[in-house]
Structure 1
Amino acid sequence: MNAAIRAQALHASLGGVEVLHGVDVVLPGGKWTSIVGPNGAGKTTLLKALAQLTPSRGAIELLGRDARALPMRERARRIAWLGQNEGGAEDLLARDVVMLGRLPHQEWLGPATAQDHAAAQAAMEQTQCWDWRERPLGQLSGGERQRVLLARALAVRAPVLMMDEPLANLDPPHQADWLRIVREHVQRGGTAVAVLHEITMALHADEMVVMDAGRIVHHGACADTATHRAVERVFGGRVRVREIDGRPVALPDETPAHP
């Protein structure tokens, strides 16, 4: 298997408390992998550790290279990041926020090139936020801001796209647009990894990593029934995965829990 990201014996702590307990994972290249699990499972910490955005111990390989040995600039060209609840300078224009995604490609203190501007515009058109390119970030709604931040990540044009709760504040039509964007990235040979709370959307991925208590309890194809049962178990039976129109769908189980 062509691995985009490989980690072995990965440990990470927050506030002196270990969150990841020796995680081993291989994320295939040219596919979309979703990461799901209950609150506090370690999903975001795992994603940040793989992206080298939080301190960790263990081996991490990125596109065949030792990720820890990569210069920061080169790593920023290989991974595009979209975090949850990301802020920014509220007075920055939307187009300038997106242009930040081009910094890894620019010379130090050098001007943006025509290629940089073209990449930023293409990303904003892809996420349907080009029309408010002249508006400050602080004047945008939550959904509009999220689309600008997604455009910033797409403007990097990195082979690996890593996203933490990318559907926050997006209405259903724009969630569908996000799904199309991820699929197009993968079809071009890219790799996508996304932490999602929306289990049904996560089941659209090629593969799913199911986490609980800082460990990976299952990793398999989203189409496999073993993956569906793992999702049900990790949520304590409060979610049921059923097939509707040939697609797996996660439904809440309203059966009262027995004392």
Structure 2
Amino acid sequence: MRAMTPAFSASALRVALAGREVLQGIDLSLPQGRWTAVVGPNGAGKTTLLKALAHLLPAQGRIELLGRPAREWGSRERARALAWLGQGQEAGAEDLRAWDVAMLGRMPHRPWLSAPTAADHASVEEAMRRTQCWDWRARPLGQLSGGERQRVLLARALAVGAPVLLMDEPLANLDPPHQADVLALVRRHVAAGGTAITVLHELTLALRADDLLVVDGGRVLHHGATGDAATHEAVQRVFAGRIRVHALDRHWVALPDA
């Protein structure tokens, strides 16, 4: 059977910020059709890695998206293939209605300055209902709580309809039930043939993914299935043995080591 082209591959990937090398020659291959959670301690380079893959930061080395070098993708074409949800987005957009923010996800599908189509409206409504923010679609973003705002931004990402989702801390500001809802949305996206790559600080929730990419000091320490013993050992090692991975009710959980 022919191997599927990776969603992302990178070789000798380096990123320097403010004169400091944050990513130090990373090589990786992230498969399509799976959910990969990126984990590691604070300052490990997780967000920088995601931004480099999304073409949001200048980087040295080679990056391929869906088998094509990053430099060969036009910006609109990339925006249709790759949906991005970052931290602290939409600063300065406080007066925009939640509906208008979610509609921004449809921009890669429309000619410049053209009005939204019926298909755009249908995609945005579906995304807002899936993220349970439809009821406040007419409210300005500045009037929403942190959790409500996060659900609108997630709706914008889903409205793109991209096969690849890159999400940096998508569970931020969400209460546990809505965190579970987001994870269910990610799982549905992958079950439908999509790919998800998420940075998560909540290790127990990260262990719900298919694979873990363990990062520290700007390097990849381990990449493997979440159920593998070697993956659990890598997680425990990167956090200096202060947590342990345990089996609980058919799931894996990460708990502080007493």
Matched residues in 1 for 2:68 and 2:228: separation?
31
Correspondent of 1:213 among 195, 206, 217: 217
Alignment correspondent of 1:257: none
Q: Per the alignment, in what secondary structure is the counterpart of residue 151 of structure 2?
A: helix
Q: Aligned partner of 2:38: which letter? A: I
CA distance in structure 1 between the partners assigned to 2:16 and 2:153 by the alignment: 27
Aligned-partner Cα distance in 2 for 1:16–1:160: 31
Deviation at residue 222 of structure 1 after TM alignment: 0.3
Do structure 1's residue 172 and structure 2's residue 176 form an aligned pair? Answer: yes
Cα distance in 1, alignment partners of residues 83 and 27 from structure 2:
22
Number of the residue aligned with 2:50: 47
Cα distance in 2 between the residues matched to 1:51 and 1:223: 27
Shift of 1:252: 1.3
How far residue 87 of structure 1 moved from its aligned partner, in angstroms, is 2.7
Which residue, out of 11, 14, 17, partners 1:11?
14
Displacement, 1:86? 1.5
Match status 1:62 vs 2:62: no
Matched with 2:247 is 243
How far off is 1:180 after superposition? 0.6
Alignment of 1:1-259 (within 5 A): 1-2=3-4, 3-88=6-91, 89-254=93-258
Offset, 1:239: 1.1
Alpha-carbon distance in 1 for matches of 2:109, 2:191: 23
The number of equivalent residue pairs is 254
**What is the one-letter code of the residue matched to 2:193?**
G
Gaps of 5+ in 1: 255-259
Q: Secondary structure at the match of 2:7?
A: strand
Q: Give the 3-state SS of the residue equivalent to 1:49 in structure 2.
A: helix
TM-score (normalised: structure 2): 0.97
Once the two structures are superposed, residues 220-255 of structure 1 have per-residue CA deviations (whole angstroms, 9 ceiling, x without a partner) of 00010110110000000111111111211000124x
The code of the aligned residue for 1:172 comes to P
Which 4+ runs in 1 deviate beyond 4 A?
A: none
Q: What is the CA–CA distance in structure 2 between the aligned matches of 1:212 and 1:253, rounded to whole Å?
A: 20
State the TM-score, normalizing by the size of structure 1: 0.97
How many percent of aligned residue pairs carry the same amino acid? 66
Gapped runs of 5+ residues in structure 2? none
Aligned alpha-carbon RMSD (Å): 0.7
| CA deviation vs aligned residue, 1:118-175 (integer Å, no higher than 9, x gap) | 0000000000000000000000000000000000000000000000001000001001
Residues of 2 paired with 1:136 and 1:74: CA distance? 30
